[in-house]
Structure 1
Amino acid sequence: MNEYIFENCQVINSLLIQEHENQARQELIKLLDFHKKNSLSYTPLVNHLIRETGLFPYLEPETSDWQERFIYNAFKVDVGEENPLTLHREQSYLLKSLLSGKNIAVSAPTSFGKSFVIDAYIKLKKPKNVLIIVPTIALTDETRRRLYKKFAHEYKIITTSDVELSEKNIFIFPQERAINYINVVEQFDIIIVDEFYKASSSFDKERSSSLIRAMIKLGAKSKQKYYLAPNITSLDNNPFTEDMEFIKLDFNTVYLEKHDLYKEINSNEEKSEALLNILDNNTGKTLIYAGTYSNIDSLTNLFLTTNSPTKSEILNQFSDWLSKNYDSNWSLTKLINRSIGIHNGRLHRSLSQIQVKLFEEENGINNLISTSSIIEGVNTSAENVIIWRNRKGSAKLDDFTYKNIIGRGGRMFKHFIGKIYVLEQPPKEIQTQLDIPFPEEILGDLDETSYQGLLTDEQIAKLKAYNDEMSNLIGAKIYSELKGESAFQSSNSELIKLIAIDLVQNPDEWNGLFYLNKFAPKDWDRLLYKIIKLQPGNWETSYSTFVEFIKIIAYNWSKSIPELLSELEDYDIGIDDFFKLERNVTYKFTALLQDINLLQKRILTSKNYDISRFITLCSHAFLPKVVYQLEEYGLPRMITKKIHLSKVIDFYNPDLNIHNTVEIFTKIGYDYVIQNTKALDDFDKYIITYFYDGIRKNNDA
């Protein structure tokens, strides 16, 4: 064994002498895995090689020479934990660059450990206002949980709109929410954009323009900028990052062991057999990338016919809970008690979060099937990653996304080696230059004077023409005020103009708009049709189905999800469509309503309409506001309803907001909630425990 270690150390040392550091690091990580599996301590020589490759956190001080012990302590930094953590060499370099005040756009592997750099920056620099833009709500809560534990004693952690600021604040938002604070915060000390590659329409056609809008407007109010992405080779010349230094860091902390099984697979049957063999022969946690919703269905059918129910008590409780609170015939209900979960962008946030928690637990979910949501919605990883399909939606999987998915294999200190199983031919490896073209649809939201440096002469001409059109429609002063307030929700200037034209040309068709404020869903049809037809093809279903769905989920708080699903059966809406359409109501439909309301109040002045109440109801899926927000904190509506009915907390209280509600939960405590809430089952209590963990600060009792 000692001879094996020494020979490998020789190989690693030779690679270092030849200046092949990345390859040397990969070989060293494999050697560290050998030590772990055989419960071996590191020799001084192994520790020396760890130092030479920059993997300082992996050093074992007790078996090191003094030079390595010195490095281990010299690279320790306070990241808000109870004890300082040792950063690796590239983390330390990045932190030093940030602390010096540089604007940085960095490309680093998934296993790099970027969150430690952010946390250390906050702890050391002590900024007043930090803005973190993340791609999804799920990542918002994951980031909130991490930072809340470390910094809630000192900072107000803000993840929702319309929150009163404190002296020091950390804002964590998707881009659509972030823009609401453009005129609330005078200045941000730093804007951090996670997964900033999504500013390119090549990677996120639907939301890239809203991210660029946020980067432009909020970046202009920030002293410093820090953008992060994986797997970017180079950055094109663009006005959004021209004042930033691009740093590419090819520094992995785990080794990816790839198995190209697709070369031996000739049929779907063989592929299914290969998948089942991998799962049978590996005991670690496994992420299965399915690519599309239909492929998730195919895998579901495969597993339901081949896997027996688990004996895990917690998973059987979860399955029963899903059956009772969602749908007994739902595929997830049946998969969970087979130790298999599903992760996609449509699920209720609390469901995704609970599954990820169970996936992280030793006796929880073993296998997680996902779409690309797993790479953009949560920071989790696994010992094994399986590429089941080489697809991303209707298109073939691109090399950038492929690398991002397989980067979920392995984890620092837990799995030195991530095993990657490729069951369909992967995309051809390419160098990824990130191109961020200027989205023409946001032109109308920009002020030509303030942002002249960003725009070409042609774009300035288009902007002037647009401004003239809007000024003629609603008046120059009113339009200037709305632009100055960044009041519009939509990043599509043409949609804003279309709404204005319709209001001006067809004022009588908007008669009775205020009736939407009255809780009489049966009377909403005409106006709902009028509104949703302004954005054809935007609702992922027919107009009539979407209208009926809105009318039925208006009873979201008074009826259970199984009761609502029973009513929706007549319109062929099942549980998966329920998630999708509810999300469309709370985001797309609400944003459209807000822009209509802004414009109609200024155009249809004689009618004196205001549908703010209806907008608020839609934005919270017709649930009490704090109930909806608590789902983002991991507490599902059916549990808050039990808490409300048991009179533990009155969620009808108009003075409640998310922050004072969290304070109430903290003050009354977990035991009080459990003891005084009626009809809680064991899994309800498990979820409440998880929720309380997310509102607990470090050093709290």
Structure 2
Amino acid sequence: MQEQIFNQCHVINGLLINNQENRARQELIKLLDYHSINNLSYNPLINHLIRETGLFPYLEPETSNWEERFVYNAFKVDVGEDKPLTLHREQSFLLKNLLEGKSIAVSAPTSFGKSFVIDAYIKIKKPKNVLIIVPTLALTDETRRRIYKKFANDYKIITTSDEKLEDKNIFIFPQERAISYINNVESFDIMIIDEFYKASSKYDKERSPSLIRAMIKFGAKSNQKYYLAPNITSLDSNPFTDDMEFIRLDFNTVFLEKHELYNQISGNEEKSKKLLEILSQNKGKSLIYAGTYSNIDSLTNLFLDNYEPAKNKLLEMFADWLSKNYDVNWSLTKLVRREIGVHNGRLHRSLSQIQVKLFEEATGIRNLISTSSIIEGVNTSAENVIIWRNRKGSVKLDDFTYKNIIGRGGRMFKHFIGKIYILEKPPEEGHTQLEILFPEELLGDLDENKYEGLLSKEQVAKLKIYNNEMAELIGVQVYEELKSESAFQSSNSELIKAIAIDLTKNPNEWNGLYYLNEFNPKNWDRLLYKIIKLQPGNWDTGYKTFVEFIKIIAYNWTKSIPELLKELEDCDVGIDKFFLLERNVTYKFSTLLNDLNTLQKRILKNKQYDISKFIRWCSHAFLPRVVFQLEEYGLPRMISKKIHESKVIDFYDSELTIHSVVEQLKEIGKEMTIERTNNLDEFDKYILDYFFDGIKITNS
């Protein structure tokens, strides 16, 4: 055994001598995995090679020479935890650049450990205002949990709109929510954008305009910028990152062992057999990338046909909880009994978070089926990653997304080796040259004098025409005021103009708009149809179904989800469509309502309408505002309802904010909250334990 280890060290050293550091690091990680499996200590030679390849956190001080022990301690930094952590060489390099005040756009692998750099920067530099923009609400909560534990004593952690600011604040938002603070904060010490590749329409056509809008407007108020993404080879010159240094770091902390099995497979039946074989042979956790919702359905049927329910008390409790609170016939309920979960972008935030929590539990979910939400919405990883389909929605995977998915394999200190099983031919390997272009949807939101440098001559000409049209519709002064206030939530200038034209040409058709503020859903039909037709094809269902859905979920707080689903049967809306349409109400529809209200208050000012009340209802899915926000913190509405009915907290209190509720709950404590809340079952208590862990401060 010792001779085998020495020979491998010799190979690694030879690679280092030949300047093949990446290969040397990969071979070393495999050797460290061998030591882990066989419960072996590192000898001084292995510690020396760890130092040479920059993997300083892996050093074993007890078996090191003094030089390695010195490095291990020299690279320790305070990242806000109970004790300092050792950074690896490239993390330390990035931190040094940030502490020197440089603005950086960095490409680094998924397993790099970018969050440690952010946390160390905050702890050392002690900035006043930090803005962190993340791609999804799921990642908002994951980031909040990490940041809250470390910095809540010194900072107000803000994740929702319209919160009162303190002297020191850390803002964590998706880009659409961030814009509400653009005029409330004078300056930011640093703006951090996670997954900034989504500013390219190639990777996120629908949301890239809103991210670029945030980059423009917040960038002008930020003293420093730090943009993060994986797997980018080069960054095209563009006005949004031209003042930043692009750094590409090809530095992996785990080894990806690829099993290209697609050549052995001819047809779906063989592929299904191969998948079941892989899962039976591997005892570790597996992420299964399905690619589309229809493929999730196919895998669901495969697993239900081939697996019997497992004897797992925790997951039996979860399945019973899902049956009672959502839908007894839901496929997820049946999968959970077989130790399988589903992660996609439509689920209630709390449900996705609970499943990721269970996936990371030793006795929890073993296999997690996912769409691309797993790479966009959460920083989890697994010992095994299985590529079931080489697709993302209706199109084939590109090399960039493929690498991002397989990068979920392995984890520092847990799995040195991530096993990747590829059941469909992967995309051709290529270079990812990130191109970020100015989206014309944003033209109407910009001051042509202030931002002329961002635009081409053609775009400047279009902007002038657009400004003239809008000035004619609502008046020069009003239009300038709205732009300066960043009053529009939509990042679609043509939609803003279409609303203004309709209000101007057909004012009488908007008579009675204020009736929406009266809680009488049966009287809403005409106006709801009128509003949703402003944006045809945007609702993932027919007009009639969407209108009926809004009227039925108006009772979201007083009725249970099973009761609402019963009423929605005639509309052919099941649980999965319920999630999709509820998200459309809270985001797309609320955004449209806000822009309509902003314009109608100027154009139809004689009518003195204001539908802010109805907008609030829709944006919170007709739940009390803080109940909706608590779901983003991992606390489902049905538990909040039990807390409310037990008079532990009055969620009807109009003065209540998310921060005041969190403080109240911390003061009451987990045990007393459970004791005082009626009708909690065992899984409710499990969720409350998870929720309270997310509002706990570990670094005092």
**What residue identity is the alignment partner of 1:539?**
W
Structure 1 equivalent of residue 223 of structure 2: 223
Is 1:593 matched up with 2:623?
A: no
Is 1:90 matched up with 2:90?
A: yes
- Equivalence map 1:197-276=2 (5 Å): 197-276=197-276
**What residue identity is the alignment partner of 2:331?**
S
CA contact (8 A) 2:354 2:634 kept: yes
Structure 2 equivalent of residue 99 of structure 1: 99
Q: For the residues of structure 1 that align with 2:310 and 2:175, how far apart are their CA atoms?
A: 40
**What residue identity is the alignment partner of 1:176?**
E
Is 1:410 matched up with 2:410?
A: yes
Is 1:651 matched up with 2:654?
A: no
CA shift at 1:217, angstroms?
Answer: 0.3
Per mean C-alpha deviation after superposition, the further-off stretch among 458-467 and 556-565 is: 458-467
Give CA deviations for 1:73-95 in whole Å, capped at 9, x if unaligned.
00000000100000000000000
Structure 1 equivalent of residue 519 of structure 2: 519
Structure 2 equivalent of residue 609 of structure 1: 609
- Equivalence map 1:458-607=2 (5 Å): 458-607=458-607
**What residue identity is the alignment partner of 1:543?**
Y
- Equivalence map 1:448-459=2 (5 Å): 448-459=448-459
Give CA deviations for 1:114-164 in whole Å, capped at 9, x if unaligned.
000000000001000000000000000000000000000000000000000
Q: For the residues of structure 2 that align with 1:606 and 1:655, how far apart are their CA atoms?
A: 31
CA shift at 1:606, angstroms?
Answer: 1.1
Structure 2 equivalent of residue 22 of structure 1: 22
Q: For the residues of structure 2 that align with 1:699 and 1:375, how far apart are their CA atoms?
A: 29
CA shift at 1:459, angstroms?
Answer: 1.5
CA shift at 1:577, angstroms?
Answer: 0.2
Give CA deviations for 1:167-215 in whole Å, capped at 9, x if unaligned.
0000000000011110000000000000000000000010000000000
Structure 2 equivalent of residue 366 of structure 1: 366
**What residue identity is the alignment partner of 1:30?**
K
CA contact (8 A) 2:194 2:227 kept: yes
Secondary structure of 2:252's counterpart equals coil
**What residue identity is the alignment partner of 2:57?**
P
Give CA deviations for 1:200-243 in whole Å, capped at 9, x if unaligned.
00000100000000000011100000000000000011111110
Structure 2 equivalent of residue 624 of structure 1: 624
Structure 2 equivalent of residue 121 of structure 1: 121
Structure 1 equivalent of residue 63 of structure 2: 63
Q: For the residues of structure 2 that align with 1:517 and 1:415, how far apart are their CA atoms?
A: 54
User: What are the ranges of 5 or more consecutive residues in structure 1 without an aligned counterpart?
Assistant: none
CA contact (8 A) 2:80 2:699 kept: no
Per mean C-alpha deviation after superposition, the further-off stretch among 442-451 and 345-354 is: 442-451
CA shift at 1:611, angstroms?
Answer: 0.3
**What residue identity is the alignment partner of 2:81?**
E
Q: For the residues of structure 1 that align with 2:398 and 2:411, how far apart are their CA atoms?
A: 24
Secondary structure of 2:164's counterpart equals coil
**What residue identity is the alignment partner of 1:677?**
T
Q: For the residues of structure 2 that align with 1:318 and 1:191, how far apart are their CA atoms?
A: 39
Q: For the residues of structure 2 that align with 1:243 and 1:443, how far apart are their CA atoms?
A: 22
Q: For the residues of structure 2 that align with 1:452 and 1:216, how far apart are their CA atoms?
A: 12
Secondary structure of 1:188's counterpart equals coil
TM-score (norm 1): 1.00
Structure 2 equivalent of residue 277 of structure 1: 277
- Equivalence map 1:669-688=2 (5 Å): 669-688=669-688
- Equivalence map 1:413-428=2 (5 Å): 413-428=413-428
Secondary structure of 1:247's counterpart equals strand
Secondary structure of 1:502's counterpart equals helix
Structure 2 equivalent of residue 196 of structure 1: 196
CA contact (8 A) 2:151 2:699 kept: no
User: What are the ranges of 5 or more consecutive residues in structure 2 without an aligned counterpart?
Assistant: none
CA shift at 1:699, angstroms?
Answer: 4.7
CA contact (8 A) 2:332 2:342 kept: yes
CA shift at 1:460, angstroms?
Answer: 1.5
**What residue identity is the alignment partner of 2:28?**
L
Per mean C-alpha deviation after superposition, the further-off stretch among 268-277 and 452-461 is: 452-461
Structure 2 equivalent of residue 179 of structure 1: 179
The number of residue pairs the alignment matches comes to: 700
Is 1:330 matched up with 2:326?
A: no
Q: For the residues of structure 2 that align with 1:578 and 1:458, how far apart are their CA atoms?
A: 43
Q: For the residues of structure 2 that align with 1:230 and 1:17, how far apart are their CA atoms?
A: 28
Q: For the residues of structure 2 that align with 1:679 and 1:638, how far apart are their CA atoms?
A: 11
Structure 2 equivalent of residue 50 of structure 1: 50
Q: For the residues of structure 2 that align with 1:683 and 1:462, how far apart are their CA atoms?
A: 57
**What residue identity is the alignment partner of 2:356?**
V
CA RMSD of superposed structures (Å): 0.6
CA shift at 1:448, angstroms?
Answer: 1.1
Structure 1 equivalent of residue 109 of structure 2: 109
Secondary structure of 2:284's counterpart equals coil
Task: State the identity as a percent.
Answer: 77
Q: Structure 1 runs of 4+ off > 2 angstroms? A: none
Q: For the residues of structure 2 that align with 1:261 and 1:570, how far apart are their CA atoms?
A: 45
**What residue identity is the alignment partner of 1:509?**
E
Q: For the residues of structure 2 that align with 1:102 and 1:227, how far apart are their CA atoms?
A: 12
- Equivalence map 1:437-456=2 (5 Å): 437-456=437-456
CA shift at 1:641, angstroms?
Answer: 0.3
Q: For the residues of structure 2 that align with 1:204 and 1:332, how far apart are their CA atoms?
A: 28
Q: For the residues of structure 1 that align with 2:120 and 2:449, how far apart are their CA atoms?
A: 38
CA shift at 1:457, angstroms?
Answer: 2.1
Structure 2 equivalent of residue 305 of structure 1: 305
Secondary structure of 1:537's counterpart equals coil
**What residue identity is the alignment partner of 1:617?**
W
CA shift at 1:517, angstroms?
Answer: 0.3
Give CA deviations for 1:449-496 in whole Å, capped at 9, x if unaligned.
211221222212211111111111001111100000001001000100
Give CA deviations for 1:413-450 in whole Å, capped at 9, x if unaligned.
00000000000000010100001111011011011121
Is 1:436 matched up with 2:436?
A: yes
Q: For the residues of structure 1 that align with 2:625 and 2:693, how far apart are their CA atoms?
A: 22
Q: For the residues of structure 2 that align with 1:400 and 1:159, how far apart are their CA atoms?
A: 29
CA shift at 1:373, angstroms?
Answer: 0.2
Secondary structure of 1:368's counterpart equals strand
